[in-house]
Amino acid sequence: MHAPGMIIERDVSIRMDDGLQLKADVFRPADGQPAPIIMTSGPYGKGVPYNVGFASQWKWLIEKYRDVLPGSARDFMVWETLDPQIWVPWGYVCIRVDSRGAGRSPGHLDVFSPRETKDFHDAIEWAGVQSWSTGDVGLCGISYYAMNQWQVASLQPSHLKAMIPWEGAADIYRDFARHGGIQSNHFLTVWYPRQVAPERATGPAEFTADELLANRSDLGKQFRERALDDEWYRTRCPQWDKVIVPFLSAASWAGFGLHPRGNFEAFTQAASKQKWLECHPGRHEEWFYLNDSMQLQKRFFDHFLKKEANGWNDEPAVRLHERRPFSTEFSVRTEEAWPLPSTVWTPTFLGASDNDLTWNKPQELRSVTFDALGDPLTFISPPLEADMEITGPLAAKIFASSSTTDLDLFLTLQAFAPNGAEVSFQGTIDPHTPLAQGWLRASHRKLDTAKSLPYRPYHTHDEIQGLEPGKVYELDVEIWPTHVMLPAGYKLALQISGKDFERPLLAGAPPDPLVNRGSGPFLHDDPEDRPPGIFGGRTTICTGGEEMSYLLLPIIPS
């Protein structure tokens, strides 16, 4: 397909250090003059049209935003990448690379592997020396095309000058495979077999199903065999002290179970001296393409790739969209750091006698017991006496025991209006996502004391520490960051369960119940990982006295 003002080259070969040649599609300005480059590399198929490979997501986007991408015919849209018909006229070369063993690239498919990351590094260096390149390369994309930005940045390719990882997990173990040590099944049962492994992983020739199977690593097998964080996971994670490139990290407020933890961790842990954090609401594929977001992306790249003096260096470090209950309007404000400098870390205490959340420490030791696979416990606060903003990472200290040798904790922060209506927001997939979620397997309770913070416990996940039935253990649970502005009169609630958060299917909800119960598809229900004989026992939560269970809230003064 021809596009005015644009040169399109398909299946351009990029030679790797072992001789294998990856295939890339290149979209560049027709004047042939050198221009800066924005790249992606991944396994979804660089030539699979958005409206074919992800038809339902495309339909949702263009029906909700009929004027999305103004000025573009949307002829070259593919999942989670830039639109060349926008960016090439802006003066950029857009390059999409099929990673090894995927799409039109030959080789063995091994997602997030060191080999794949080295390939990305080599592709960046190739792009930087082409005749139509200024030598300045940027990276920009969503999800997979954000996750591997953290990894390749650790290799410090010389031509990489800036990047925008938009909703990109970073820690393959903690963000992706095992939340709090509990196996997340979405990536085994949905993502890998449906989005990565099908016929797109063909290379330049056609293969049978058996040949395709032999041509890729078994991600599910790798995850299931590795309950602990080992070298295999670590070689698939960034080294934050080596991530020095300028970046804009874009996090979703409601992406629990996949990306936002990585965006926040990157902002706080990476060695980059020039880094910014953007926080937005909405669906996974939505906010990236809205006009305000694209103008933000353009300003960032114009500054770092085109060397324009557009004031970007004066941009505040944090840009967030404020969320209010039952509102679809999201005002923007800026801050200077994350967590926000004005944060007042405030514990709210669990009371077992009345299942309440209270600002006062309960002095008397009490306990409450529930069936781990049965109905959850919910601790509810009194009505808020004043408006309250909660913005930042959260944590909970839970004193608990089990009737078996282990237990899983699923913690969910909720809020309720005076009329009892639950406050929920559009998540990356689920249209009714609660305020925050966190997980912990008690046998993974060991903390890395050097990396842990009061508001962000960091678990080593390097050994199994089983439980003695009936013995109380102190468990520190990381709860992923959130933001909400709650009016006076609303109530907060902390739900504690031994299984995934789930609310009744809402009236009029779409037929797929997995994305309408509060946790989306990011569930933890593999019977091999959670045998009922161990994780279906009785769990006791202790409160008060020396076993003071509490939720730590990041409250922002008005």
Domains and CATH numbers, the chain: 6-166+182-226+285-315 (3.40.50.1820), 344-501+517-556 (2.60.120.260)
Q: Cα separation of 332 and 117, whole Å?
A: 35
Contacts of 106 (CB under 8 A, 6+ apart): 20, 21, 100, 203, 204
Of the candidates 440, 431, 426, 434, the one whose C-alpha atom is nearest the C-alpha of residue 509 is 431
Q: Please count the CA atoms within 13 angstroms of the CA of 178 that sit on its side-chain side.
A: 26
Mean pLDDT of 217-230: 90
Q: Are 557 and 365 in contact (CB under 8 A)?
A: no
Please give the pLDDT value at position 202: 42
Asked if the model's pLDDT at residue 477 lies above 70, the reply is: yes
Confidence (pLDDT) at 505: 74
Q: How many other β-carbons are positioned within 10 Å of the β-carbon of residue 387? A: 12
What value does the mean pLDDT take over residues 309-321? 97
- pLDDT score at 251: 98
pLDDT value at position 203? 46
518-536 average pLDDT score: 93
pLDDT band at 212 (very low <50, low <70, confident <90, very high): low
DSSP-derived letter for residue 287 is: G
- Distance in angstroms (rounded) separating the CA atoms of residues 210 and 554: 52
Count other C-beta atoms under 10 Å from residue 234's C-beta.
12
Q: What do you get for the CA distance between the two ends of the chain, in Å?
A: 54
Over range 538-547, report the average pLDDT. Answer: 97
pLDDT of residue 511: 67
* Cβ partners under 8 Å of residue 555, min gap 6: 343, 344, 345, 346, 388, 389, 390
Do residues 534 and 390 lie in contact, with contact meaning Cβ atoms separated by under 8 Å?
A: no
Residues 447, 476 contacting (CB under 8 angstroms) = yes
pLDDT at residue 3 tops 90: no
Greatest mean pLDDT among 44-53, 204-213, 339-348, 504-513: 339-348
The closest of 134, 182, 175, 127 to 151, measured between CA atoms, is 175
The pLDDT score that the predictor gives to residue 200 is 47
Between the alpha carbon of residue 217 and those of residues 161, 192, 497, the distances in Å are 32, 11, 34
Q: Which two tokens stand for residue 454?
A: 């009061």
Mean pLDDT confidence for 278-282: 97
Nearest by Cα to 256 from 176, 142, 338: 176
For residue 347, is the peptide bond before it cis, meaning its omega torsion is within 30 degrees of 0?
A: no
Question: Of 35-44, 172-181, 202-211, 464-473, which gets the smallest average pLDDT?
Answer: 202-211
pLDDT for residue 186 is more than 90 = no
Q: What is the mean pLDDT of residues 163-168?
A: 98
What is the overall mean pLDDT for the chain?
A: 94
The yes-or-no verdict on residue 120 having pLDDT over 90 is yes
Taking the C-alpha atoms of residue 80 and residue 57, their distance in angstroms, rounded to an integer, is 11
Taking the CA atoms of 396, 402, 407 and 408 in sequence, report the sign of the dihedral they define. Answer: negative
Q: Which of 140-154, 211-225, 355-369, 539-553 is predicted with the least confidence, judged by mean pLDDT?
A: 211-225
Buried b (16+ CB within 10 A) or exposed e, 81-94: bbbbbbbbebbbbb
The residues near 532 (Cβ < 8 Å, ≥ 6 apart) are 373
User: According to the model, what pLDDT value does residue 201 have?
Assistant: 40
For residues 245, 331, 261, 376, the Cα torsion angle rounded to the nearest 10 degrees is 180
Reported confidence tier of residue 395, pLDDT bands at 50, 70, 90 = very high
Q: How confident is the model at residue 504 (pLDDT cuts 50, 70, 90)?
A: confident
pLDDT digits (tens, 9 = 90+) for 409-433: 999 999 999 999 999 999 998 999 9
Look at residue 285 in the predicted model and tell me its pLDDT. 85
Confidence of residue 485 (pLDDT cuts 50, 70, 90): very high
pLDDT-above-70 percentage for the chain: 94
Give the single-character DSSP code of 103: B
pLDDT of residue 199: 45
Q: How far is CA 433 from CA 61, 66, 174, 415, 496, in A?
A: 19, 25, 20, 11, 16
Tokens 């030959």 found at: 106
Question: What is the pLDDT confidence band of residue 513, given thresholds at 50, 70 and 90?
Answer: low
pLDDT average, residue stretch 67-72: 93
- For the segment 295-320, the average pLDDT, to the nearest whole number, is 97
Do 17 and 122 touch, CB atoms closer than 8 A? Answer: yes
Three-state DSSP at 430 gives coil
